[in-house]
Amino acid sequence: MADKKFRVGIIGCGGIANGKHMPALSKLGNIEMVAFCDIVEERAANAAKKFGTEDAKVYTDYRKLLEDKSIEIVHVCTPNRSHSFITVDALEAGKHVMCEKPMAINAAEAKKMVDAAKRTGKKLTIGYQNRYRPDAQFLYKYCREGGLGEIYFAKAHAIRRRAVPTWGVFLNEYEQGGGPLIDIGTHALDLTLWMMDNYKPKSVVGTTYQKLGKRKNSANAWGPWDPDKYTVEDSAFGFITMENGATIFLEASWALNSLEEGEAITTLCGTEGGADMRDGLRINGEKFSKLYTFKPTLDGRGVAFYEGRREDPSQFEARQWIDSIINDTQPTVLPEQAMVVTQILEAIYESAKTGKPVYFNE
């Protein structure tokens, strides 16, 4: 099976497909991208020309793509609202599915995806590529070996000062389910829960703000946004308690008057030590009655003639995903884990809307 070439279909040929999925898959020798679907036919055609086989098919209806029984794997790279039903249909059609984050716009839709994967026996994973960064890989192993002890307090950071995405449907609450919280806060929360190995939330209190989104001609990394189309929050914050008593503070923004920026990073505090990703990966603790801080060397610098694996997180993500299919092992990102991320994000939005805490398992 190791020499087999898997036939892959891409559903959604926009920014994330062109920026991450298709370039990463194209570097794998055991992959053929044979079908491309987008509601804008030109986008699908351009993707097929750049990344596809010579006889690659182009579709505007994803259901037609799923009818091709020779396609074994599907990558879902569409706006958030359609993640769930496309993924479920793909699983039911006998395909393994990589779905871009966030898993779904709410917990009920995420559960449908988990249930479909169990029912069909097909593999499902979610595109949380930040797990594959060198600092995240090192810290995860450090946590699993007990380096931090019991992690009882954490912060999940996803703060941009002014970097509102102005393309696609990012500002459309109906299509996306929210703004920075569901877009980049989801990465920070996924990393934090993964490091803690804790997926049992007890309660959530959340707040969201739209204080800057309606302003015209605002300074922004990608140019001014259209305030009339800005229907999502520009910042969101959540206070999460877990069943074992641990606490997580989540902060997310596209636009916030803060100089403390940082995206898809975590701060962890445990009984034996702490860690943060604010200035590279830093680990702190106490030894011989003295406090210490150290920064691991993660790139091989200082070792003569060392080249190492030159693989960015998106390539690492694609490779381990295909390897999980080849070897019939679990992918790094389990759908059950991603579903908990979605549950917490939905609870933050719900708490912000009602002004009340949200309790799980009640």
Summarize the confidence of residues 135-160 as an average pLDDT.
97
Question: Which residues, 6+ apart, have CB-to-CB distance to 181 below 8 Å?
Answer: 208, 233, 236, 238, 250, 252, 345, 348, 349
Amino acid at 183: D
Using the predicted structure, report yes or no on whether residue 358 has a pLDDT greater than 60: yes
Q: How confident is the model at residue 255 (pLDDT cuts 50, 70, 90)?
A: very high
- Same fold? 6-129+314-333, 131-310+341-359: no
Summarize the confidence of residues 234-250 as an average pLDDT.
98
Asked, as a colleague might, if the bond just before 335 is cis with ω within 30 of 0, I would say no
Q: How confident is the model at residue 252 (pLDDT cuts 50, 70, 90)?
A: very high
Q: Architecture of domain 6-129+314-333 in CATH?
A: 3-Layer(aba) Sandwich (3.40)
Average pLDDT over all residues of the chain: 95
pLDDT of residue 298: 86
Judge whether 195 and 139 are in contact, CB under 8 Å.
Answer: yes
pLDDT of residue 301: 46
pLDDT of residue 311: 77
pLDDT of residue 99: 98
3-class SS of residue 134: helix
Distance of CA 298 to the CA centre of its chain: 22
Using the predicted structure, report yes or no on whether residue 18 has a pLDDT greater than 60: yes
Domain range list for the chain = 6-129+314-333, 131-310+341-359
Query: What's the predicted TM-score (pTM) here?
Result: 0.94
pLDDT of residue 321: 98
Local structure of residue 19 (DSSP, 8 states): I
pLDDT of residue 1: 52
3-class SS of residue 43: helix
pLDDT of residue 361: 84
Using the predicted structure, report yes or no on whether residue 16 has a pLDDT greater than 90: yes
Summarize the confidence of residues 181-208 as an average pLDDT.
98
Residue with more model confidence, 304 or 65: 65
pLDDT of residue 238: 98
Judge whether 206 and 239 are in contact, CB under 8 Å.
Answer: yes
pLDDT of residue 305: 46
Using the predicted structure, report yes or no on whether residue 302 has a pLDDT greater than 90: no
Q: How confident is the model at residue 2 (pLDDT cuts 50, 70, 90)?
A: low
Amino acid at 168: G
pLDDT of residue 310: 62
Q: In what order do the strands lie in the sheet with 290-294?
A: 290-294, 282-287, 273-276, 262-270, 151-159, 247-253, 235-242, 201-209, 358-359
Domain 131-310+341-359 has CATH 3.40.225.10: no
| pLDDT per position as a tens digit, 44-57 | 999 999 999 999 99
Q: How confident is the model at residue 187 (pLDDT cuts 50, 70, 90)?
A: very high
Using the predicted structure, report yes or no on whether residue 308 has a pLDDT greater than 80: no
